């Protein structure tokens, strides 16, 4: 994609360019407290304005700190509340058209579409010099995550992934505890989620369902974007696309960037070296498991191995559990204590030589259980001292818009908790688990009496992170990237 040589409004503001598109700078005191003059507002637009997109753009707008120039969505019913709220914003179905027509007005975009369209939308926006806030997981596959990381640097744009727990003071507290050597080196990490909480591991829908009035044929084509064309079905849109590899990334993609974030950040992990998994099976007849390679499995357990790092000088194995499976209470954690968070639905255990550090989703409820039986929780002043303590999602979107205003390479940019330099490698790690799951599910015609399929990918896979390649099972490498629909290649 070619970068357009247009100056954004902010560029003009920063570079002092005036003229046709210039602004009248009104002194702040004339406008009243809390009012942000247009000259200080970032022009923002939402790609995906329903679902999570609604709170992303509202938080980025921040009661007028920034101007919502446009909204883009393919389904007029999903985004109707957001459109009502920002009734002056222009409305589009095709983000390419929106960026093209409003190039001079849009400085930054939030991208909250299903996972399979994150990369194409973000790369298009970044190539035009727009700053990007992209929901988690950053991308649908590992190669896309690497491309986005490189593109943000190349185009010098300010980026942030929507794993808002990154800005939760709980994570900062855990980093401090670990750096103060409270738990010692960590050899084992356990992570779990109650997802999927949508239909998953089910047969591929058949039969044609008419498109709802709120989605045109052309807009369904836009929903599909780079994916393989399939007919509309309510088991795909909205929300349920998560359970299909064509669009989503399963339970790992949904929660991995929230729950693997704390250990990735605390231990300063890099590329993993090995991955192995097993997945839940479904039987509707005796002995022959259902074979649904298009769908993510109902449950999975994945082990990802990391080499020693400067911060954690020992090899570490991380075990991921989903679909209702979770680790058991380690001896150090009393039997009646919940694991991770209330109800034990999601959580993280980092098992160190001196104790176990644990938290729930988004780094909430950080605690340490020490080997001597003592226990600590988050220091009270740690939470109140956080500058974004009262903000929605701990100011995850707000700190991004402020960093966009300060510019690429600014202190505000460097202080972001999930810019792509961090979020890219984190997402690659999360998607390593999916690469193992898809390899595990890969059936080859064979002589087996059980469904006549062989499963050659059911083994430990060795990963070369720099080369982005599995070195001991060539067929796994098809899942590093994907086949792109014509016209939507990356």
Ligand X SMILES: NC(=O)c1ccc[n+]([C@@H]2O[C@H](COP(=O)([O-])OP(=O)(O)OC[C@H]3O[C@@H](n4cnc5c(N)ncnc54)[C@H](O)[C@@H]3O)[C@@H](O)[C@H]2O)c1
Residues near ligand X (CB under 6 A): 47-53, 72-75, 78-79, 95, 112-115, 117, 135-136, 162, 164, 222-223, 225, 237-239, 254
Helix-, strand-, coil-residue percentages of the chain, each rounded to 5? 35, 15, 50
For ligand X, give the closer residue by CB, 73 or 303: 73
User: Is the Cβ–Cβ distance between 424 and 269 less than 8 Å?
Assistant: no
Q: Which residue has the tokens 């990391």?
A: 306
Q: How far apart are CA 367 and CA 340, in angstroms?
A: 9
Q: Whole-number minimum distance, CB 47 to ligand X, in Å? A: 5
- 287 burial level (CB within 10 Å; 0-12, 13-18, 19+): exposed
Q: Whole-number minimum distance, CB 168 to ligand X, in Å? A: 12
C-alpha dist (Å) from residue 206 to 142, 209, 419:
30, 9, 40
| Residue 237 token pair | 């849109």
For ligand X, give the closer residue by CB, 52 or 485: 52
Q: Whole-number minimum distance, CB 237 to ligand X, in Å? A: 6
Strand pairing partners for 347? Answer: 192
Q: Whole-number minimum distance, CB 217 to ligand X, in Å? A: 14
For ligand X, give the closer residue by CB, 112 or 312: 112
Q: Whole-number minimum distance, CB 418 to ligand X, in Å? A: 10
SS3 label, residue 284:
coil
H or E segment to which residue 256 belongs: helix 250-259
For ligand X, give the closer residue by CB, 94 or 290: 94
Q: Whole-number minimum distance, CB 174 to ligand X, in Å? A: 19
User: Is the Cβ–Cβ distance between 59 and 133 less than 8 Å?
Assistant: no
Q: Whole-number minimum distance, CB 240 to ligand X, in Å? A: 8
Q: Considering just the CA atoms, what is the radius of gyration of the chain in Å?
A: 23
| Residue 217 token pair | 């044929």
For ligand X, give the closer residue by CB, 41 or 401: 401
For ligand X, give the closer residue by CB, 135 or 312: 135
Taking alpha carbons only, the member of 201, 363, 214, 211 closest to residue 295 is 201
Q: Which residue is nearest to ligand X (CB)?
A: 51
Q: Which residue has the tokens 């109140």?
A: 384
For ligand X, give the closer residue by CB, 41 or 135: 135
């Amino acid at each position: 994609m070619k970068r357009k040589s247009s100056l954004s409004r902010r560029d003009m503001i920063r570079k002092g360019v005036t003229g046709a598109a210039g602004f009248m700078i009104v002194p702040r005191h004339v406008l009243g407290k809390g009012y942000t003059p247009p000259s200080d507002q970032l022009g923002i637009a939402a790609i995906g304005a329903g679902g999570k997109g609604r709170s992303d753009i509202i938080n980025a707008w921040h009661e007028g700190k920034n101007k919502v120039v446009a909204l883009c969505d393919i389904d007029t019913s999903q985004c109707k509340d957001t459109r009502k709220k920002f009734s002056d914003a222009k409305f589009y179905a095709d983000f390419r058209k929106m960026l093209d027509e409003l190039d001079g007005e849009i400085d930054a975009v939030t991208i909250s579409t299903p996972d399979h369209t994150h990369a194409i939308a973000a790369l298009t926006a970044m190539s035009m010099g727009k700053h990007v806030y992209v929901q988690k997981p950053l991308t649908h596959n590992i190669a896309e995550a690497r491309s986005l990381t490189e593109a943000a640097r190349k185009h010098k744009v300010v980026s942030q992934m929507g794993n808002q727990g990154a800005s939760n003071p709980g994570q900062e507290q855990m980093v401090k505890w670990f750096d103060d050597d409270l738990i010692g080196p960590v050899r084992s990490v356990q992570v779990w989620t109650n997802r999927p909480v949508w239909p998953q591991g089910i047969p591929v829908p058949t039969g044609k369902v008419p498109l709802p009035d709120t989605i045109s044929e052309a807009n369904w084509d836009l929903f599909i974007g780079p994916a393989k064309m399939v007919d509309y079905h309510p088991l795909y849109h909205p929300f349920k696309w998560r359970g299909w590899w064509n669009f989503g990334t399963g339970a790992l993609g949904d929660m991995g960037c929230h729950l693997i974030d704390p250990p990735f950040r605390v231990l300063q992990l890099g590329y993993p070296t090995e991955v192995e998994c097993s997945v839940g099976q479904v039987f509707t007849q005796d002995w022959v498991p259902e074979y649904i390679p298009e769908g993510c499995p109902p449950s999975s357990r994945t082990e990802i191995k990391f080499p020693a790092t400067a911060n954690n000088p020992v090899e570490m194995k991380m075990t991921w559990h989903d679909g209702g499976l979770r680790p058991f209470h380690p001896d150090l954690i009393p039997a009646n204590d919940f694991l991770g968070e209330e109800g034990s639905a999601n959580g993280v255990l980092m098992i160190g030589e001196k104790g176990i550090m644990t938290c729930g989703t988004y780094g909430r409820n950080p605690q340490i259980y020490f080997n001597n039986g003592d226990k600590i929780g988050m220091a009270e002043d740690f939470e109140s001292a956080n500058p974004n303590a009262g903000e929605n999602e701990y100011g995850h979107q707000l700190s991004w818009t402020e960093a966009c205003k300060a510019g690429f390479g600014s202190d505000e940019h460097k202080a972001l908790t999930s810019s792509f330099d961090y979020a890219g490698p984190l997402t690659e790690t999360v998607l390593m688990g999916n690469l193992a799951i898809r390899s595990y599910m890969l059936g080859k015609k064979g002589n087996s009496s059980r469904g006549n399929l062989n499963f050659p990918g059911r083994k430990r896979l060795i990963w070369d992170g720099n080369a982005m390649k599995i070195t001991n099972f060539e067929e796994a490498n098809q899942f590093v990237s994907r086949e792109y629909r014509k016209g939507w290649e990356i």
